[in-house]
Amino acid sequence: MTSTDEARGTTSTEPVWWGWGPAVAHDPLPESVRLLLARLGIPSRPTPPVGLAEVRLPPARLPAAARDALAAIVGDRHVRGDDESRVRHCRGRSTTDLLRLRAGDASAAPDAVVLPADHDEVLAVLRLATRERVVVVPFGGGTSVVGGLAPTGQPGRPVIALDLARLDGLGRVDRESGTAELGAGLRGPRAEALLAEHGLTLGHVPQSWEYASIGGFAATRSSGQASGGYGRFDDLVVGLRVATPAGSWDLGRAPASAAGPDLRQLMLGSEGAFGVITQVVCRVRPLPARRLHEGWSVPDFVTGTRLLRTLAARDLRPTVCRLSDETETIAGLARPPRRRPAARDRAAQDDGPGGDATTGGCHLITGYEGPGPAVARRANEVAEVLLAGGARRLDADAGADWEQGRFRAPYLRDSLLDLGIFAETLETAGFWSALPALYAGVRGALVDTLGAAGLSPVVMCHISHLYETGASLYFTVVCGQGADPIGSWRAAKVAAGDAIVAAGGTITHHHAVGTEHRPWLGAEVGPLGEDVLRAVKRTLDPAGILNPGILVA
């Protein structure tokens, strides 16, 4: 695929503008996946993205005076109106975003990209934008999969993407309290590298980790693959610095407080609609001395879910825990298990070769991080529960394979799109008692809707975030594109969203609302909740310049 890199507008390690990560990181689709797709009747045909020069951009609407005023704040070279900058800040990384971009549609591109250096510059930009009625889209990693970077409802106004990449510093590290001040523009790897110099880690590792930003994690209530050990990102936040059109706001004076409502929780999940998070004070932990990932096969998804519930109820959540359903196990997208059972359990095996998805069962990954003895002990405690519940340990490579491939899915999606195959995800969460109906409802909605459109969907699911009271469900859909993939997906998404609401789940567990989930926000928070969000918005952003249409209609 590197042969077309130049046409695609990149030859560097910079992420490609039409997809995920640098071009060199895109492997051709594995032969096993090709065969599987063929067996499932999903048609493929080469569908490369257009060249950057062919991308259609609307004329930039930012008035020269506003541009100059912005340049006076952030410096001339930090106001960018070139085509590539605009394309690179156009929409996020949902599959429909990528389909549009790959087809050369950058109609939603901002008119300019502004890169402030610090909190005060952000404040100044917001003041100017308020005065000039310029729409501001806060931009962290640009990895939204829910249309969080595509504001709506202010068609006449110029739009700037406020790229926070320069707010990339590590501030005060308070070793005694176990906290660190992190610039909102820090991407996952850089944040971890800076903390590692102090022997510390954040431990927040969502699939978007390579590109998503600290501010984005906070603004979207992100949850990482290691949430069982480190917590959701909102659990990690102890303080926030926010620039709003109404002024500066610092939140978080103590680990816990009864001084009224926890207003940090209003900014966590605010998706750039209430203010721009410029710094996050996070809980940090010592770098783990040991990391261990193990693979298991459980008899079926229902049994596996019950086992996870037992672990959560007994306060035995692994750092990482991912249970694939039967379909995902077969598709092997969560790393297909090997044929050899681990030596230590071989004696206990009496059911043939085992461990291969094709023999039935569901694949489970458990991971542990921490001091060596604690990892060993927790792994043993979990193993005891799993073995007693009918799980079978897979060979040691299963865990290692998962770890190695944990960030690969978005690259794989690019490879599928190159073959004209549609792939997208959606997620929800619910209380344990609601999970079976939630799973069946969403799965059924996706299969039925896409099936009716003749797209032969493969619908897979895994559980990847455990709580005492429930868990998340993460669905992956792979199907043909048909004549109108964007329209087909929209219909499927509507059906899935309705099914989630009907089954009592949340419309999103960690992807956020954006424009994609906006239709169901009312069902989630009620009309009073929408009124409250509107009132907060009016208070902090009276001119409505921040991400209009996001959270507040």
Kindly identify the residues of this chain, within the stretch 448-477, that bind a second copy according to CB under 8 A. Answer: 465, 467-472
Cα separation of 341 and 396, whole Å?
8
Does 158 show up as a binding residue in the annotation?
no
Stretch binding a second copy (CB under 8 A), from 263-271, 288-296, 320-328, 354-362: 263-271
401 vs 405: CA distance, rounded Å: 6
Q: Which of 328, 306, 326 is nearest to 432 (CA)?
A: 306
Q: Evaluate whether 372 touches 365 at the Cβ level (below 8 Å).
A: no
544 touching a second copy, by CB under 8 A:
no
Q: Which residues within the stretch 164-193 sit at the binding site for a second copy (CB under 8 A)?
A: 174, 176-179
Kindly state whether residue 524 participates in binding a second copy, applying the rule CB under 8 A.
Answer: yes
Q: How far apart are CA 182 and CA 278, in angstroms?
A: 9
Cβ atoms of 512 and 212 within 8 Å: the answer is no
223 annotated ligand binder: yes
The residue from 53, 64, 65, 258 that contacts a second copy (CB under 8 A) is 258
CB of 144 to a second copy, least distance (A): 11
**SS3 (DSSP) at 250:** strand
Strand partners, 478: 423, 458
**Does residue 512 have a known ligand-binding role?**
no
Site for a second copy in 500-519 (CB under 8 A): 504-513, 517
275 labelled binding-site residue: yes
Distance between CA 423 and CA 477 in Å, rounded? 5
Exactly one of 5, 118, 181, 234 binds a second copy (CB under 8 A); that residue is: 234
Query: Does 268 participate in binding a second copy (rule CB under 8 A)?
Result: yes
- Asked if 540 interacts with a second copy (CB under 8 A), we say yes
- Say if residues 390 and 303 touch (Cβ distance below 8 Å): yes
Asked if residue 251 binds a second copy (CB under 8 A), the reply is: yes
Does 54 belong to an annotated binding site?
A: no
d(CA 237, CA 222): 11
Residue 384 CB: number of other CB atoms within 10 A?
11
Least separation in angstroms between CB 105 and a second copy = 27
CA 243 to CA 280: how far, in whole Å? 12
Work out which of 267, 292, 308, 447 binds a second copy, going by CB under 8 A: 267
Residue list 288-327, contact with a second copy (CB under 8 A): 309, 313
For the bound state, the minimum distance from the C-beta of residue 109 to a second copy, rounded and expressed in Å, comes to: 26
How many residues touch a second copy under the rule CB under 8 A: the total is 83
> Which structure tokens are listed for 40?
């499932």
Binder among 271, 325, 356, 369 for a second copy (CB under 8 A)? 271
Q: Which of 29, 122, 125, 536 binds a second copy (CB under 8 A)?
A: 536
3-state secondary structure of 197: coil
Residue 413 among known ligand-binding residues? yes
Beta-carbon neighbour count of residue 138 at 10 Å? 29
**Cβ count near 75 (within 10 Å):** 13
Is 12 labeled as ligand-binding?
Answer: no
> 203-232: which residues touch a second copy (CB under 8 A)?
220-223, 232
Q: Is 105 among the residues that bind a second copy (CB under 8 A)? A: no
- The stretch among 124-132, 189-197, 344-352, 534-542 that binds a second copy (CB under 8 A) is 534-542
Q: H-helix or E-strand containing 485?
A: helix 485-502
- Which residue, 157 or 221, is less far from a second copy as judged by CB? 221
For residue 474, which of 100, 300, 224 has the smallest C-alpha distance?
A: 224
221 belongs to an annotated ligand binding site: yes
**Which window, 101-109, 410-418, 424-432, 491-499, contacts a second copy (CB under 8 A)?**
424-432
* Cα angle 229, 232, 237; round to 5: 110
Question: Which residue among 90, 202, 226, 238 contacts a second copy (CB under 8 A)?
Answer: 238
Of 267, 341, 297, the residue nearest 536 (C-alpha): 267
Paired tokens of 181: 């001040």
Binds a second copy (CB under 8 A): choice among 74, 79, 461, 533: 533
> Under the criterion CB under 8 A, does residue 529 sit at the interface with a second copy?
yes
Residues with active-site annotation = 474
Judged by CB under 8 A, does residue 380 bind a second copy?
no
Unique residue bearing structure tokens 């523009």: 185
255 in a known ligand binding site: no
Instruction: Please tell me whether 138 is known to bind a ligand.
Output: yes
Q: Which is nearer to a second copy, 254 or 483 (CB)?
A: 254
Q: Is 162 in the site for a second copy (CB under 8 A)?
A: no
Given the complex with a second copy, which of 10 and 223 has the nearer CB atom?
223
Closest distance between a second copy and the C-beta of residue 234, in Å? 7
Q: What own/partner pairs with CB < 8 Å and gap ≥ 24 does 246-254 have?
A: 246/539, 246/540, 246/541, 246/542, 247/123, 248/119, 248/123, 249/275, 249/540, 252/281
244 is a contact residue toward a second copy (CB under 8 A): yes
Q: Which is nearer to a second copy, 112 or 545 (CB)?
A: 545
Least distance (Å) from a second copy to the CB of residue 8? Answer: 32
Q: Which is nearer to a second copy, 18 or 368 (CB)?
A: 368
Coil vs helix vs strand at 268 = coil
Question: Which residue's CB is nearer to a second copy, number 250 or number 484?
Answer: 250
Q: Which of 484, 507, 496 is nearest to 96 (CA)?
A: 484
Q: Is 481 helix (H, G, I), strand (E, B) or coil?
A: coil
**27/250 with CB nearer a second copy:** 250
Give the footprint of a second copy on residues 18-77 (CB under 8 A). none
Distance CA 125, CA 163 (A): 12
Q: Is 141 annotated as a binding residue?
A: yes
| 8 A C-beta contact, residue 319 and residue 368 | yes
Residue 327 CB contacts under 8 Å (≥ 6 apart), including other chains: 458, 459, 460, 461
Which parts are annotated binding residues for substrate? 413
Q: Which residues are annotated as a binding site?
A: 138-144, 220-223, 271-277, 413
Annotated binding site for FAD: 138-144, 220-223, 271-277
